[in-house]
Every structure is written in C-alpha cells, then in structure tokens.
A = this chain, B = another copy of it.
C-alpha cells in the first residue's frame, strides 16, 4: 500500500508544488513565507522529505519535488479540489468560503473515499475557482480554464462553463447570446467596479459585472 504522510508533510508538499509552478525551484525563505513558519523549521522538514524520496535537495541550494513528490502533490490537490467542488455544488457554500474547509478535508486519507466522491460528483474537470482537478491517476487535463474575470485584455477565449448558483444567470447570459462555446474577448476593464466590456466575434460590445465575470469559466485560445 502507498505510504501515508502527516498533515504537516502534506502541507509542505502542497506548498512546494505551488511555488514550483511560478518558479521551477524553491528557496527555503520563500517556502517559510508561504507556510508562515521560520526558515529553521523548513530546513528540518526538507531533510525529512528528502529522506523519504519526495524532494531533490542539496543543503544551501534551492530544491524541488521529485517525481514521487509531484505524484503525492497531485493526490492532495485532487482531494482539495474535489472537496471544493462538493462544498459549492452540493452543500451550497459560496466559492469564497470553501477554501478553509477544503484545507481540512484534503487531509482525510482514503483513496476509496476520494474516488467515490469523484464519481458522486460526476467526475468534474474543474473546481469552483476554475482550477483543473487531477483524475484518479493524478493526470491533469491540459486544457486550462479560468474565470473570465482573470482573462487578460484582448485575449480570445471560449466559454467552457458557468457557475449557475441561480439559473437566473444562465438565462441572463443566453439573452445576450452568451452560451457555453461562445468565443469572446475583453475590450476594457472599468476600474471603479471591475466590470468588463466584452465583445463576442462580430457583435456589439456588452458590459458585465465583476460577479458575473467570476462565474463564467473560459479557456484562452
């Protein structure tokens, strides 16, 4: 059976994975900052993770997860994002408040639980923030998805999903001829309310609120 890791070890692995996405290799101080701990504590854990084969590390140098470490990271991310999806989709949490609870749930170590949860949720591909959910083998869907609110100006994208807490939103959007699959780009971002002026192909530009923009998931082209 696969080894189990402590909550603390899991949090280190997750943070290292996160910092690697920005920076390839990670420094002790960056990780200390991210984990809200002192550098001395980080060093200690680095040695432990290396001894377990999860980390590639030489004293006084930067470090990164080993192949095995990355596999473990993806398992934890999978748990986290599936729980987030569950909380929003089934328990009616708003997507701002799920993170903290998912932070605890992600450490419940049962593969069977997570795989059954995945099935129960109909194998969702993205969590409520638009981040992709790794599958049972730790594979992540290459296609990236993000909320329309985070799409750069003038970058074309296709709508892939709409978080329809109320189905009101969906009907509002379809009245604007905005549906899943619609191609669009942002022409202007209004600073005072973060509303967006978006343009669909050859139609006239329309204005949508930040809230709506956050609920729309897009896939940049």
- State which size class the interface on A falls in: 10 to 19
Give Cα A117 to B91, complex, Å: 6
**Contact A108 B104, CB 8 Å, known A90-B120, A120-B90, A120-B91:** yes
Chain A 113-127 near chain B by CB (<8 Å), digits 1 or 0: 100110110000000
Give the copy number: 2
Summarize A's interface: helix, strand, loop or mixed. helix
Selected contact of A105 from candidates B90, B108, B116, CB within 8 Å? B108
Selected contact of A101 from candidates B87, B90, B92, B110, CB within 8 Å? B110
Residues of B within 8 A of A105 (CB): 105, 108
B104 contacts A110, CB within 8 Å? yes
Which partner residue on chain B sits nearest A98 by CB separation?
B113
Give Cα A186 to B43, complex, Å: 64
Residues of B within 8 A of A109 (CB): 104
Selected contact of A113 from candidates B101, B116, B119, B120, CB within 8 Å? B101
B116 contacts A92, CB within 8 Å? yes
Selected contact of A108 from candidates B90, B101, B113, B117, CB within 8 Å? B101
Residues of B within 8 A of A87 (CB): 113
- Residue A5 interfacial (CB < 8 Å): no
Residues of B within 8 A of A93 (CB): 112, 116
Q: Give chain A's interface residues, CB within 8 Å of chain B.
A: 87, 90-93, 97, 100-101, 104-105, 108-110, 112-113, 116-117, 119-120
The 7 closest A-B pairs by CB, nearest first: A91-B116, A104-B108, A101-B110, A101-B113, A91-B120, A90-B120, A105-B108
